[in-house]
Structure 1
Amino acid sequence: MPLMSLKEVLADADRRHYGVGAFNVLNIEMLNAIIRAAEEEQAPVILAFAEGHQKYIAMETIAPLMLKAAREATVPVVVHYDHGRQFENIIKIMHYGFTSVMFDGSTLPYEENVRRTQEVVRIARILGVSVEAELGHVGGAEGVPGGEDDPQACYTDVNQAADFVARTGVDALAVAIGTAHGVYRTRPKLDLERLAAIKNRVGIPLVLHGGSGLRDDDFRQAIARGINKINIFTDISLAATRRIIAMLGDKDIPGSAGVVPYQGSDLLEGDFIQNASLTGYQDLMLAVTAAVKEEVKGKIRLFGSNGKVAGPAPPHARQPGRWPSL
């Protein structure tokens, strides 16, 4: 199926009031799991690679794999660069063929955020790439404790959001309404009234970062008020870790209480090895793929994107990585 831009996929989500999951990819196991989950659920999906994850794998290595998997998928797939702060990385990833980029200027002074976002949008428009930006600041760090770090201190201002969207022309806006990246130690409280007010003023699809750890009803309420893209990493990371611990008979991981030690039967029938005993790392790879796939499928259903591939027909495929004549 042709690669899809973020703007194209979120237009249908906005029109039909559902959320599309953006799942961060670190390796082949995660990549395979996300694509399989989306295909089985007949859901559009966003494959994301975060700039901060280059300490785990270089974007030059993972980008071609993500693009190949997306092109071969039977459902609409967006290939997205997440939390891009370095201008040269954003330009490079667009050149590779990613169909969407996020410029994260959320920690910059407001006018500097506007100026830099405008420059990214100007270049992206030439290449047919969608742009997401962030206003306000979603704090914390993905995959680690600290998700509760005073999110109220950096809420998105409603009037500023309207000005920002009008001046930059971004396709989607990540907003700060009480979430944070990472593992929450206390239950977050979302400012849903603020979210509804922002949606009413800006009109474009809104993005929820720091989605891992929220209650199911939090997601439903947020989607009802204008969230169309939801970023997930910590939850799939923990799902993989819990499965490994179950196989190895250990504990001490968030959510691992009550996990039954691995017996071989918890690998998905038809997808992975059967009647296996732990023989090496290869078994862990298969188990991680199974665990991530289960977690992604659950999120797809929760966000309401399952069965949504029958939306507007995708446009003809553009040629990723090809610079147009100017």
Structure 2
Amino acid sequence: MGLISSTPMLEKARSEGFGIVAFNVHSLDMIYAVVEAADEVKAPVILQTTVGSVKSLGAENIVAAAEKASNQYNVPVALHLDHCTEYSVIVQCIRAGYTSVMIDASMHPFEENVRKTNQVMEIAKHLDINVEAELGKVGGVEDDIVVSDEDAQKAVPAECVEFIKRTKVPTLAPAIGTAHGIYKGEPDIDFIRIQEIAHLVEVPLVLHGGSAIPDEDVKRCVSLGMAKMNVSTELKNAYSAAIRNHFIETPEALDPRQYLSKAKNAAKDLAQSKITLVGCAGKATEIQEYEKEKHSNPIMAN
């Protein structure tokens, strides 16, 4: 069916209390691993890439592979640019065919974050793409963005309201205590803060740092309004560990088709477990119908 904006799938997820998983993919075959996993459980899915992956693989190549996969399998697929601080890269990805972008200006003061987000919204409002922005600072490492534990800051609920009012951004990632990467201890998730923000704003919320959060905590976040959960490190680790284990067990087996097949299967298994966890397995047709209805109804589209 081709790539679609993540806006309708996330709106539907938020309104019905389930989540959509956004998987960071770092190679073209990881794209197919994720989409095949989604197809097998009939779920909508979001592919996302870091700026580093865009510079490594090329935006046009990523879009071509994602479009090919989305046309091959009958599930809703969106393509998202994750944590981008560079306006020029956002424009490049939009022109290439990305259907969702994140402008991350969370490291700046509130007013500058509003300004930079509105700069992207000026483009997006004329196109059928989603825009995600962040308030507060999610700790950890994401590509070349490093936020120490000391610098991590949770989003202020009242600022979330003001930010959405002034930017009209359709998706918001509030910092609520999660971190990028694998946790050293138990994640300190502020569930009360999620509930407060979700009560004050209607837009879908995004859970960053979704790797290795305990299952029950993920379910609680989704039930409170987190409609999108980002998974990067766990997927990358599963994929890479399968290759490492292949060479530990069979060091002379150098055929890439063997070890890449194992890596792909490991990524698929991980993707399916996360998709099932957030409750979107079996939701593909529902999302497809909502997306078509929204495009055919001018009032819903606005």
In the other structure, the counterpart of 2:107 is: 107
Listed as ranges, the matches of 1:151-170 within 5 Å are: 153-170=152-169
Asked if 2 retains the 8 angstrom alpha-carbon contact of 1:67 and 1:98, the reply is no
User: Aligned partner of 1:185: which letter?
Assistant: K
**Going by fraction, where is helix more abundant, 1 or 2?**
2
Q: CA RMSD in A?
A: 2.3
User: Aligned partner of 1:302: which letter?
Assistant: L
Scaled by the length of structure 2, the TM-score of the pair is 0.90
The separation in 2 between residues aligned to 1:80 and 1:143, in whole angstroms, is 15
Higher deviation after alignment, 43-52 or 278-287: 278-287
The separation in 2 between residues aligned to 1:169 and 1:282, in whole angstroms, is 46
In the other structure, the counterpart of 1:201 is: 200
Listed as ranges, the matches of 1:14-163 within 5 Å are: 14-54=14-54, 56-142=56-142, 149-150=148-149, 153-163=152-162
Deviations 1:134-173 (A, max 9, x none): 11111211489x99x4278410011101100111001110
The separation in 1 between residues aligned to 2:68 and 2:221, in whole angstroms, is 32
The separation in 2 between residues aligned to 1:286 and 1:168, in whole angstroms, is 44
Residue 154 of structure 1 aligns to a residue whose secondary structure is coil
Gapped regions of structure 1 (runs ≥ 5): 250-260, 263-276, 319-326
Asked if 2 retains the 8 angstrom alpha-carbon contact of 1:6 and 1:130, the reply is yes
Asked if 1 retains the 8 angstrom alpha-carbon contact of 2:6 and 2:99, the reply is yes
Asked if 2 retains the 8 angstrom alpha-carbon contact of 1:75 and 1:309, the reply is yes
Residue 230 of structure 2 aligns to a residue whose secondary structure is strand
Asked if 2 retains the 8 angstrom alpha-carbon contact of 1:47 and 1:80, the reply is yes
Shift of 1:193: 0.1
In the other structure, the counterpart of 2:261 is: 286
In the other structure, the counterpart of 1:315 is: 292
Asked if 2 retains the 8 angstrom alpha-carbon contact of 1:179 and 1:211, the reply is yes
In the other structure, the counterpart of 2:278 is: 303
The separation in 2 between residues aligned to 1:294 and 1:2, in whole angstroms, is 24
Residue 79 of structure 1 aligns to a residue whose secondary structure is strand
Shift of 1:4: 1.9
Asked if 1 retains the 8 angstrom alpha-carbon contact of 2:59 and 2:92, the reply is no
Deviations 1:233-276 (A, max 9, x none): 10011111221232222xxxxxxxxxxx57xxxxxxxxxxxxxx
Shift of 1:183: 2.0
The separation in 1 between residues aligned to 2:110 and 2:285, in whole angstroms, is 40
Scaled by the length of structure 1, the TM-score of the pair is 0.84
**Number of aligned pairs?**
292
Asked if 2 retains the 8 angstrom alpha-carbon contact of 1:43 and 1:309, the reply is yes
The separation in 2 between residues aligned to 1:221 and 1:229, in whole angstroms, is 13
Deviations 1:201-254 (A, max 9, x none): 1111000111101100110010011100011110011111221232222xxxxx
User: Aligned partner of 2:163: which letter?
Assistant: F
Listed as ranges, the matches of 1:164-183 within 5 Å are: 164-183=163-182
Deviations 1:69-90 (A, max 9, x none): 2233210111111112111111
Q: How many percent identity over aligned positions? A: 36
Asked if 1 retains the 8 angstrom alpha-carbon contact of 2:50 and 2:84, the reply is yes
Asked if 2 retains the 8 angstrom alpha-carbon contact of 1:103 and 1:133, the reply is yes
Aligned: 1:231 with 2:230: yes
Larger radius of gyration: 1
Residue 218 of structure 2 aligns to a residue whose secondary structure is helix
